[in-house]
Structure 1
């Protein structure tokens, strides 16, 4: 199998945004992990001071997509004492709108997962085969679709400029950006639902998908990218500012090319990614989830990672601390920060002992633009 960028120099693809020089890629540094952690905090503090002066987007809206089971041992790493083998997470899309300095409107969709196709991710496909249908119906709840939410918001898919994910685990983009050939499993050559949109992705994640490591294979759908046109992507190197109050910050570790969305809003700075699955995972000493507070004290850990893939654990830890440093305190409970998990821990009767102590559930900012 050859992915389209296997024969294309990824460096030749166009990019987007204004590069942020505050951050340097510490994951490539030869310094010890503890030094990189200290530098991550310092860089986050410096960027915060600059970023909050960049303005705010017009609107930020949260759209629920699906609630599904996820192994407790992955989502809460080694910290949970819950007896439930699975917890529940809710995947959500963020719709961000802003205007450029010349007046041009922009629309960014963050985590616009094609839920129907995401189930064919190798891990989830195998899990579904081994799960009785009655149990699957009890654990999986569909809330809405990407296109349905956009219709409700009055957004024409043709006016969407950017698609972005914190990383490309589970994602099948063919129906969103189209393909160069007929797709047997789809029964068609899909026309792009978002004909003007480009996918913002870290260049090194895009390059790595041409030859996956065994640790990565359960979570990617490489076959789904075989006929995706290279020009559908806008690869970036590191961190960039996309618009007023909208930035992408590289946060490696969960995957090498992990990235986080950073927003400056009416309630302050928010950060979103899947490095952790609950706001309390960045403040575990305040968590009432069984085991988390004690584990954090015993092991002197200030974050509880989402660890389904541990490509570089120390880097993921440092990235989570960077996110925690960037985000403002929650106005509803200042013990927790405005970190919005792209897959947020959600209470369910099927997962006793995994109901979160605190949840954001949504971000609301701005009024609907004309």
Structure 2
């Protein structure tokens, strides 16, 4: 059953955005089998990294916590964890990125601006909540702040937001952000767009895939939430693009067919962000102290540990993570780990023994330094 206001065919007719990156091919479509594609992403990633470093830097990047919530250990740390806890905790965060175009126009991009309240109705999390006693749920879930409150604290008016970007649209309900074309019974009104000038940057492959979901996808999407959203609020892209100085989107398929990662150039070097993994140490598990990770990585000769709640195309996700690992610079705090900022980062909690990360970023911040 289709739930979207567009068909696979007319997705092609939507406007697009950004300067395409010729250096990177689609990790799922380059020639050869998955092993050949893995070798290709290492070479192409190194070439693109040199190119991207010359694009400049944005004006500012700030990080804002939204919610800490439970997540199955077997998903977040795939087959590697030996923790006794069935659940771990992850913290969802929003990045606010600002830059100026060459003509002087200021741009504001929100990365992962999740509507936490509506995201709870994602089928998997909705079923989990129904099985969890309220007293336990209150201990496992902490809301830190809303998208609107964080923006108000920054002095950013809703109409000044230009772009909304997610690594993928699992759990996302965007009706409040981009408005609807019809009355919404569950919201009690027809929401006007909270961000009236914002466009959602999304891979064309994800829009096409969401038009008719596969059974592997259904637990993680809210297709009904997209039935009455305006198609013109979306800006589809094909592959990797540069959005502004030091700001880009890299296609990283696997976790979902149209997965994408944020890449930014900052005062500490290049950062990458997505939900392909839930901890920086999942890119270098040989340095992890989480129970099982280093041993599993060594015995299975796996150099990364996937976030694997939806194994749509596992080899592609593995290759995409290696691309992210190639692009991200070493952390200045501890060079064993990369400047990979999980959009949902593993967070230690006493309720989840064996899942406290060895290393956490907790925030990605940047302020442009002007030179004379």
- Answer whether TM exceeds 0.5 for this pair: yes
Q: Distance in 2 between matches of 1:8 and 1:36?
A: 28
Report Cα offsets for 1:179-225 as digits up to 9, x if no partner.
00000000000010000000000001011111000000000000000
Q: How does 1:249-288 map to 2 (within 5 A)?
A: 249-288=250-289
Q: How does 1:212-231 map to 2 (within 5 A)?
A: 212-231=213-232
Report Cα offsets for 1:241-288 as digits up to 9, x if no partner.
000000000000000000000000000000000000000000000000
Kept after mapping to 2: 8 A contact 1:54/1:245: yes
Q: Distance in 1 between matches of 2:168 and 2:305?
A: 19
Q: How does 1:9-48 map to 2 (within 5 A)?
A: 9-48=10-49
Q: Distance in 1 between matches of 2:8 and 2:342?
A: 35
Q: Distance in 2 between matches of 1:125 and 1:239?
A: 33
State the partner residue of 1:327: 328
1:355 aligns with 2:332: no
Q: Distance in 2 between matches of 1:307 and 1:18?
A: 31
- Give, in angstroms, the shift of residue 28 of structure 1: 2.2
Kept after mapping to 2: 8 A contact 1:59/1:368: no
State the partner residue of 2:199: 198
1:364–1:7 distance in 2 versus 1, CA, 3 Å: closer
Kept after mapping to 2: 8 A contact 1:209/1:222: yes
- Give, in angstroms, the shift of residue 6 of structure 1: 2.2
Q: Distance in 2 between matches of 1:82 and 1:7?
A: 42
State the partner residue of 2:6: 5
- Give, in angstroms, the shift of residue 366 of structure 1: 0.3
1:105 aligns with 2:106: yes
Q: Distance in 2 between matches of 1:153 and 1:8?
A: 40
After TM superposition, what 4+ stretches of structure 1 lie above 4 angstroms from structure 2?
A: none
Kept after mapping to 1: 8 A contact 2:217/2:310: yes
Q: Distance in 1 between matches of 2:155 and 2:34?
A: 47
Q: How does 1:97-176 map to 2 (within 5 A)?
A: 97-176=98-177
Q: Distance in 2 between matches of 1:7 and 1:299?
A: 39
SS of corresponding position for 1:5? coil
Mind listing any 5+ residue stretches in structure 1 that lack a counterpart? none
Q: Distance in 1 between matches of 2:71 and 2:263?
A: 25
Mind listing any 5+ residue stretches in structure 2 that lack a counterpart? none
Q: Distance in 2 between matches of 1:157 and 1:363?
A: 22
Q: Distance in 2 between matches of 1:152 and 1:243?
A: 24
Q: Distance in 2 between matches of 1:365 and 1:311?
A: 34
Q: Distance in 2 between matches of 1:281 and 1:7?
A: 35
TM-score normalized with structure 1 length: 0.98
1:91 aligns with 2:57: no
- Give, in angstroms, the shift of residue 24 of structure 1: 1.3
Kept after mapping to 2: 8 A contact 1:107/1:160: yes
- Give, in angstroms, the shift of residue 32 of structure 1: 1.3
1:368–1:114 distance in 2 versus 1, CA, 3 Å: farther
Kept after mapping to 1: 8 A contact 2:267/2:368: no
